[in-house]
Amino acid sequence: MFRNVSIAVRMTVLILAGAGCILGALIGYSYVSARRLLEEELREKAQYLADATACRIEVVERAVEKVVQSGAFMLEDREWDLEERYRILTGVVERNPEIFGAAIAPSPHGPAPYVCRAPDRSGEVVRRDLSAEEYNYEIWDWFTLPRDLGRAVWTEPYFDEGGGEVLMVTYSVPLRRPGYPGEFAGVLTSDVALEWLREMIASLTVGEAGYAFLISANGTFVSHPVAEMIMSETVFSAAEDREYPLLREIGRSMTRGETGFVPFNSLANGKESWLAYAPVRSTGWSVGLVFPREEILAVVLRLSREVFGLGAIGFALLLGVALGIARSITRPLRELEAATRTLSKGQLDVPLPAIQGDDEVAHLATSFDTMRRDLKRYVEDLRSTTAAKERIESEVHIAHSIQMSLVPRTFPPFPERHDVEIFAILEPAREIGGDFYDFFLDDDWLYMVAGDVSGKGIPAALFMAVTRTFLRSIWHELKEPGPTLARLNNELARDNDSSMFVTLFCARVHLPTGRCDYANGGHNPPYRLRPGGEVEEVPRVKGAVVGGLEDLRFEEGSLTFEPGEVLYLYTDGVTDAMDPEDRLSGDTWLKTQLGGLDRQADCTKIVREMRERLRVFTRGAEQSDDITMLAFRYLGGGS
């Protein structure tokens, strides 16, 4: 029967009927889908906020750990008198605003200097002695745990009565007596006051009625909007008191360092909510964010009402304007259709027909014309961008070639000598990187080095070039590995605003005798491949990373190679390589693979075989770090 009426009437009736059905379906569907989408969006945002909060806390704690570990290296270097220890602790507190106090507690019991900020927040730094009779530091966790465990620890939160007189946590590192590496000499600590942490947690914006809280490794509430629960309840005691078994399972998950997003009844007001939590891995703590469910439903209900209201208004308007639109829409649409056929052939310079008015069809014509101009501009921009990208790639390739020219690449490097064999490879994770190796002959001494600069890319490559230049110059002057690293460390640490550093293993071999002198600046210790098949790690010597702090000493070691023995140097790109399941290769894997090598193979085959085995281990996973390998074989005295 619709064939007997005009196309405008038919279009109006069909539009209104279809619009009515669609509107009803959309209102119902929008409620369900909007609720699901909002909950999914909340899950992502809540988890991101929880992870970000945990990271903010962990950044402070990692900074504290590095400061304390660096101080421990320095204190173990030699004996320091009491005034020097006070000065060291004062510098630690004054230069690190996140640290409330620092102490050196010796073993056996003796003067224990402690420097902390005044509790009145005046900014003043005060000195104290923890060896006083009223403060027996040998019973506190920050002393007993590192002593008994033999490693650095974070304590549970506590009130330091008689010491800092504030609620705090402490990071403690065990000290070894200078000259006696196995003897416990005390601890070096740094305290972090928890007031700033509670203020930071309380300041988080979690909806209108949500909140954030923080628990320690054993589940104690460190921060919570209910003040009575702080330091007096654990998540497990709260579960028992409220007969809430799900809270006990949540607490176990949080104390295990897991991440989650689960339904939750608020401990502050009992309302149904969502809980997002994430671990602070350095201390074993966990951050929780509570989002009330009613806020999410309120948004959905408001959105549904708005959709229904707008739909009703649109339906009424549609009834009045459908006939007029139907009559005016066909002619300009035909003109637009013809014009778009021309555009589809790539003729972007042909103008579209000008359609008078300000209705949807006119807007559509304007949009098509805008699209035509944008496409034309996009094609032009794409040409320019492609050219710029090709130029950048060319420059990076040139930089890669320049970097690779800084390391020896001609093998064998000393064809006139029959007492030495050497081969090395360098594969940056990006086009350019921070790994390097080097070697050269000076009379009967062979000097060689493997290094790894912190970071990747162009900054690491520049720092590597500076390091290599300084190293060659200093080595030609001083000859010995230990003094060479000490001088190089001072040159790199001076005016090092970027705080970059490099790990280095330096060695020199007297080719007539096979004697090897070496020093290590925080680098992976190399391996000795004995002719009989044994694989041994080169004895470790003391030495921090190079370029971090000035005036450091680097201990030298010495050994003698047997004829046919191989020294294998590498960077952490070998032991930190990961397979598709994110499992690290590690030191054990490396030693096992070295033990399976053919001892009759030359250095070239050894290095290439190890690279192939590493490639088999990673199974095509993306290379995450620069890879450097160097193999040196001592063949016996004489050239």
Q: What is the pLDDT of residues 172-230, one digit of tens each?
A: 999 888 777 778 889 999 988 877 777 777 777 776 778 888 888 888 888 888 878 88
Asked if residue 451 has pLDDT above 90, the reply is yes
Name the percent of the chain lying above pLDDT 90.
27
**pLDDT for the residue 93:** 87
As for how many domains the chain has, the answer is: 2
pLDDT at 35 over 70: no
Q: What is the pLDDT of residue 584?
A: 92
The DSSP output letter for 228 is G
Among 229-238, 292-301, 530-539, whose mean pLDDT is lowest?
292-301
**One domain for residues 419 and 288:** no
Q: What pLDDT, on the 0 to 100 scale, is given for residue 319?
A: 67
**Does residue 1 carry a pLDDT above 60?**
no
Q: Which of 296, 319, 342 is the last residue of a domain?
A: 319
pLDDT for 499 beyond 80 = yes
Does some domain include residue 339?
A: no
| pLDDT of the residue at 167 | 79
Which pLDDT score is estimated for 263? 86
pLDDT at 8: 57
pLDDT digits 0-9 by tens, 251-262: 888 888 888 888
Residues 180, 307, single domain; the answer is yes
Task: Give the span between the Cα atoms of 545 and 532, in whole angstroms.
Answer: 34
- Return d(Cα 439, Cα 414) in angstroms, integer: 11
Residue 335 is predicted with a pLDDT of: 67
pLDDT of residue 387: 64
pLDDT score of 371? 75
Q: Is residue 376 part of a domain?
A: no
Contact of 172 with 112, CB cutoff 8 Å = no
- Cis status of the peptide bond prior to 412, with omega within 30 of 0: yes
Which of the listed residues 268, 303, 319 is the one where a domain comes to its end?
A: 319
Report helix angle 195-202 to 7-75, nearest 10: 180
Strands (E), 230-314: 260-265, 272-280, 285-292
User: Does pLDDT of 239 surpass 90?
Assistant: no
Say if 336 falls within a structural domain.
no
Same domain? 482 vs 600 = yes
Segments forming the whole domain that contains residue 604? 409-634
- For residue 424, the model assigns a pLDDT of 95
| C-alpha–C-alpha distance, residues 343 and 376, integer Å | 11
Indicate whether 379 pLDDT > 70.
Answer: no
DSSP code per residue over 165-201: -SEEEEEEEEEEETTEEEEEEEEEEEEEESHHHHHHH
Q: Please, what is the average pLDDT of the chain?
A: 82
pLDDT at 457 exceeding the cut of 60: yes
Q: What is the pLDDT of residues 571-613, one digit of tens each?
A: 999 999 999 998 999 999 999 999 999 888 999 999 999 999 9
The predicted pLDDT at position 434 comes to: 81
Does residue 271 share a domain with residue 153? yes
pLDDT of residue 536: 94
Do residues 443 and 315 both lie within one domain?
no
pLDDT, position 11: 67
Listed range (10-14, 178-182, 399-403, 519-523) with the worst mean pLDDT: 399-403
Region of poorest pLDDT, from 235-244, 327-336, 527-536: 327-336
pLDDT at 295 over 90: no
- Residue 222: how many other CB atoms lie within 10 Å: 22
- Look at 357 and 395; give whichever has higher pLDDT: 357
Residue 336, pLDDT > 70, answer no
What's the mean pLDDT in 241-256? 86
| Among the ranges given (30-44, 450-464, 472-486), the one the predictor scored with the smallest mean pLDDT | 30-44
Separation between Cα atoms, residue 451 and residue 543, nearest integer Å: 14
Q: Are the CB atoms for 568 and 606 separated by under 8 Å? A: yes
Query: Which tokens sit at 236?
Result: 């497990």
Structure confidence by residue, pLDDT tens digits, 616-639: 999 989 888 889 999 999 998 655
Output the six-digit token pair for 528.
Answer: 């000795």
3-state secondary structure 84-120: HHHHHHHHHHHHCCCCCEEEEEECCCCCCEEEEECCC
Check: CB of residue 531 under 8 Å from CB of residue 562: yes
CATH code of the domain covering residue 531: 3.60.40.10
Summarised one tens digit per residue, pLDDT across range 521-573 is 999 999 999 998 899 999 999 999 999 899 999 999 999 999 999 999 999 99
Spell out the residues 6+ positions from residue 151 whose beta carbon is closer than 8 angstroms to its own: 174
Are residues 176 and 315 both part of a single domain?
A: yes
344 found inside a domain: no
Q: Encoding tokens for residue 266?
A: 């608020």
Position 324 scores a pLDDT of 65
Q: Assess whether pLDDT exceeds 90 at residue 135.
A: no
Residue 614 lies in a domain: yes
Query: Would the pTM of this model clear 0.75, i.e. be above it?
Result: no
Question: Which of 294, 319, 344 corresponds to the end of one domain?
Answer: 319
What's the pLDDT score for residue 219?
Answer: 86
Rounded Cα distance between 106 and 189, Å, is 11
Inside any domain, residue 388: no
Mean pLDDT value across residues 238-258: 86
**Whole-number pLDDT of residue 423:** 96
Question: Sorting pLDDT into bands at 50, 70 and 90, what band is 155?
Answer: confident
Distance CA 545, CA 540 (A): 14
Q: Kindly state whether residues 315 and 417 are assigned to the same domain.
A: no
Least confident residue range of 233-242, 338-347, 392-401: 392-401
Which residues lie closer than 8 Å to 455 by C-beta, 6 or more apart? 434, 463, 500
| Cα angle value 64/65/66 (rounded, 5°) | 95
Query: In angstroms, rounded to a whole number, what is the distance separating the alpha carbons of residues 376 and 395?
Result: 29
Residue 5 has pLDDT above 70, yes or no: no
Question: What's the first-to-final CA gap in the chain, in angstroms?
Answer: 108
More confident residue, 312 or 239: 239
What is the mean pLDDT of the segment spanning 236-243? 85
CB distance 545 to 506 below 8 Å = no
Q: What is the mean pLDDT of residues 96-116?
A: 88
**Residue 36 CA: distances (Å) to CA of 23, 94, 307:** 20, 51, 17
CATH assignment at residue 113: 3.30.450.20
The answer to the question of residue 393 being in a domain is no
Are residues 140 and 38 both part of a single domain?
yes
Q: Is the pLDDT of residue 3 over 90?
A: no
Residue 369, amino acid: D
Interval 402-406 mean pLDDT? 70
In a domain, 413, yes or no: yes
